């Protein structure tokens, strides 16, 4: 009880020193939560965009399909099985047929992938309905913003596309760019050309065949696959991104490390230095008859109170800031597009309850530890050394 009273008295009497200390601690606290929130927000956004624009609730791949092997691509198609067709008919799945091609924008040649998609699909957040309009006899085609920039194509341009037909000889057709879409997901943009599924099936002289069946996001039951149609879940489809996140946690994100380091330094500085500066005070208290154990408890308790105050203060000014930045988002520099991630230009931090509590706990424990350890070290000295302010 006496220790509590003394700690409370010391914390309240110290005035400015307490508030400075508490403010720095609370700042570190808010900063860590904010950084974590940015990090979580980035993951959520990337995964969300991937799900909405590309992978839905998971995909069935025709067994030959390998996105990293362009040579096997032209053999990667098969008849859509009946159970998938039922899902497609009820709007719970959508087929995609993929074919490699060469295109000739503005007199240059460029290899690309022809994607046959259903103009009526609602599974993916994708302007496929633009493929429905077809006024002037050309095959309607859709490309992404990056593809448009690389090829110099704009809406209304006609571009020749050449592919190998079933006999191994070349066929060609003209397509018209009817729309250009913007996406954060580079994989569905760079080198991709979208045309109606039925048209591509005609061009390849196949009927009702596809390469990929994408399921609706949140579908309750995954249909059974087969040797020629294999299911790829989110863990598989998002593996690259999860790998990236792993590399990041190992330390490739220097910014994050610096922020965390700064925060810890601030905690270390305020707590440890404050305690070392007070070693004469500790020596005096011991000379006045305070036991070692009580000195340690007293100073650790003071540090603990600082930690609690910091959490309260951090909540008072931090929560509005965090909520505000989560609602307006944080603008990201253009360079993030070069990371190859599906990062949008504005990031919205996401703060989970778990994040809040775990960060509070980590910070709190850190404060208690960095209060306890130096105090114990000083209290273990002879009081004479502590009195002299000597440290060895």
Partner 1 sequence: MTASELIVTKKLTKQYPIGGNFFTALREVDLCIDQCEFTGIVGPSGSGKTTLLNIIGALDAPTNGNAKVLGSEIGKMNHVEAAKLRNQYLGFIFQTYNLLPVYNVFENVEFPLLLQHIESSKRVDMVNKALEWVGLSEKAKSKPAQLSGGESQRVAIARAIVKQPKIVLADEPTANLDAQNSHHILKTMVTLNEELGTTFVFSTHDEKVISYLRRKIKLSDGEIVDDTIVN
Query: Which of 157, 54, 155, 171 minimizes the C-alpha distance to 101?
Result: 171
Q: Do residues 366 and 259 lie in contact, with contact meaning Cβ atoms separated by under 8 Å?
A: no
DSSP assigned state of 226: B
Nearer to partner 1, 72 or 384 (CB): 384
Nearer to partner 1, 290 or 311 (CB): 290
* Neighbouring C-alpha atoms within 13 Å toward the C-beta of 347: 26
DSSP assigned state of 11: H
182, burial (CB in 10 Å: exposed 0-12, middle 13-18, buried 19+)? exposed
Q: Nearest distance from residue 280's CB to partner 1, in Å?
A: 7
Residues 259-318 that bind partner 1 (CB under 8 A): 280-281, 283-293
Q: Nearest distance from residue 308's CB to partner 1, in Å?
A: 19
2 interacts with partner 1 by CB under 8 A = yes
CA dist 381 to 270, 285, 293, Å? 22, 13, 12
10 interacts with partner 1 by CB under 8 A = yes
Q: Nearest distance from residue 378's CB to partner 1, in Å?
A: 14
Nearer to partner 1, 283 or 349 (CB): 283
Nearer to partner 1, 250 or 288 (CB): 288
13 interacts with partner 1 by CB under 8 A = yes
Residues 17-56 that bind partner 1 (CB under 8 A): 17
Q: Nearest distance from residue 371's CB to partner 1, in Å?
A: 17
Sign of CA dihedral 311, 317, 323, 326: negative
Q: Which of 249, 252, 345, 382 binds partner 1 (CB under 8 A)?
A: 382
Q: Which of 14, 31, 158, 260 binds partner 1 (CB under 8 A)?
A: 14
The stretch among 10-18, 25-33, 240-248, 360-368 that binds partner 1 (CB under 8 A) is 10-18
What is d(CA 335, CA 381) in angstroms, rounded to the nearest whole number? 55
DSSP assigned state of 332: -
334, burial (CB in 10 Å: exposed 0-12, middle 13-18, buried 19+)? exposed
Nearer to partner 1, 130 or 381 (CB): 381
Q: Which of 260, 264, 373, 387 binds partner 1 (CB under 8 A)?
A: 387
DSSP assigned state of 251: I
What is d(CA 306, CA 360) in angstroms, rounded to the nearest whole number? 13
Number of residues that bind partner 1 (CB under 8 A): 26
Q: Nearest distance from residue 10's CB to partner 1, in Å?
A: 6
Q: Is 19 helix (H, G, I), strand (E, B) or coil?
A: helix
Nearer to partner 1, 199 or 292 (CB): 292
Phi, psi of 88 (to 5 degrees): -65, -40
Footprint of partner 1 on this chain (CB under 8 A)? 2, 5-6, 9-10, 13-15, 17, 280-281, 283-293, 382-384, 387
């Amino acid at each position: 009880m006496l220790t509590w009273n003394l700690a409370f008295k010391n914390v309240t009497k110290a005035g400015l020193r307490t508030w400075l200390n508490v403010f720095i601690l609370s700042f570190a606290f808010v900063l860590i939560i904010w950084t974590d929130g940015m990090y979580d927000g980035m993951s959520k956004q990337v995964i969300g965009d991937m799900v909405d624009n590309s992978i839905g609730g998971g995909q069935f791949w025709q067994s030959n399909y390998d996105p990293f092997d362009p040579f096997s691509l032209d053999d990667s198609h098969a008849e859509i099985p009946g159970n998938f067709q039922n899902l497609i008919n009820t709007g719970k799945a959508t087929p995609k047929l993929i074919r490699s091609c060469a295109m000739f924008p503005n007199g240059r040649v460029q290899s690309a992938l022809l994607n046959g998609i259903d103009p009526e699909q609602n599974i993916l957040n994708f302007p496929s309905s633009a493929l429905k309009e077809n006024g002037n006899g050309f095959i309607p085609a859709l490309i992404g913003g990056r593809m448009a920039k690389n090829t110099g194509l704009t809406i209304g341009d006609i571009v020749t596309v050449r592919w190998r037909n079933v006999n191994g000889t070349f066929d060609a057709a003209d397509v018209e760019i009817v729309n250009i879409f913007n996406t954060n997901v580079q994989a569905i943009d760079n080198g991709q050309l979208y045309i109606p599924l039925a048209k591509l099936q005609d061009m390849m002289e196949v009927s009702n065949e596809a390469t990929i069946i994408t399921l609706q996001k949140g579908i309750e039951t995954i249909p059974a696959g087969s040797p020629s149609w294999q299911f790829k879940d989110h863990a598989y489809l998002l593996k690259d991104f999860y790998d990236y996140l792993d590399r990041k946690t190992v330390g490739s994100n220097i910014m994050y490390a610096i922020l965390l380091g700064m925060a810890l330094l601030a905690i270390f500085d305020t707590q440890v230095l404050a305690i070392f500066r007070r070693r004469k005070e500790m020596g005096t208290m011991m000379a006045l008859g305070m036991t070692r154990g009580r000195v340690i408890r007293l100073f650790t308790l003071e540090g603990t109170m600082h930690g609690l105050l910091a959490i309260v203060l951090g909540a008072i000014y931090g929560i509005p800031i965090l909520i505000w930045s989560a609602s307006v988002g944080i603008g990201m520099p253009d360079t993030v597009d070069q990371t190859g991630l599906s990062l949008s230009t504005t990031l919205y931090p996401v703060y989970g309850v778990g994040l809040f509590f775990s960060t509070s706990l980590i910070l709190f424990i850190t404060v208690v530890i960095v209060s306890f350890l130096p105090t114990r070290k000083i209290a273990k000295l002879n009081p004479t050394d502590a009195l002299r302010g000597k440290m060895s």
